[in-house]
Amino acid sequence: MANFLNDELRVIAKGFPENLEDWPHIPCPTCMRGALLPDPDSFVVEESVTSKSLHAHEAWDPEWIQGHFQCVLICRRATCDRVRVIGEMSVGYSGRYDVQYEQDLSPTMFFPALPLLQSRDLCPPAVSERVDAASKILWLDPSAAANRIRAAVEALLDDQKTIREKTNGAGKAIRLSLDNRIATFKTALPQHADAADLLLAVKWIGNVGSHEDVLRISDVLEGVEFLDHALSLIYDKNRDDVKKRASEVTARRGRPGTT
């Protein structure tokens, strides 16, 4: 399944150029179809006071400039909510013949948060809640967002009635690790073995987010893509319907069916 939403988010993660007309496609969290466009009248870039104080340094260079930006994003559909984006500004060497330096704009928060799941309509509410929690902090703290995506896997297994505990030989309830829950899910529902393998990969990314502060936004988006595909494999009933209709057409050797 091609995940165009994830591709768009990966581009956004690389940052925005200073020219508003060159900003990438930003998906609308209201309609999920329209593109958010920056409102030029709302766009503000401000160099920090600390950065300004360094201008007097004898070794000062434009690449020392740092600050913040903010902007209102508007969907082409008039009924959609406006989105605010704030982030960090820095200056770097452009490499272009006509401009030596240019601003780099790195978003750190979108409000309302940008959508992460392409398969949201298939998603159980408890899973959606955890993914939404991840989307709110993804741009500011990728490792914390990965932990919430891991929690979404737990919620998915709950929805699939996968046990959380088992009783040991002494009659005491023992909580199962997420590894064990995924293995149990895979054994109980072998038709979802591929989805279980995807969920295991999401778990590993979430584990790193829980114990180390090394994840990048792209790492979390990879986990989201795995989760998205697993949701499609487990919950998308249209897949079975398409296979059934294809078999019927093959049986008729392509001739029109009866109504």
Q: Where are the domains of the chain?
A: 1-115, 117-246
- For 145, the token pair is 């967002």
Contact 89, 105 (CB under 8 A): yes
Residue 2's pLDDT is what?
56
Contact 155, 124 (CB under 8 A): yes
Which amino acid is residue 76, in one-letter code?
Answer: R
Residue 259's pLDDT is what?
58
Residue with tokens 């986990």: 223
Contact 142, 216 (CB under 8 A): yes
CA distance 94 to 22: 15
Contact 122, 232 (CB under 8 A): yes
**What sign has the CA pseudo-torsion 51, 56, 60, 61?**
positive
Residue 73's pLDDT is what?
98
Extract the residue ranges of the chain whose pLDDT is less than 50: none
Regarding pTM above 0.85, the answer is: yes
Residue 246's pLDDT is what?
82
CA distance 257 to 82: 48
Query: Helices 193-211 and 217-235 meet at what angle, rounded to 10?
Result: 150
Residue 188's pLDDT is what?
96
Residue 1's pLDDT is what?
52
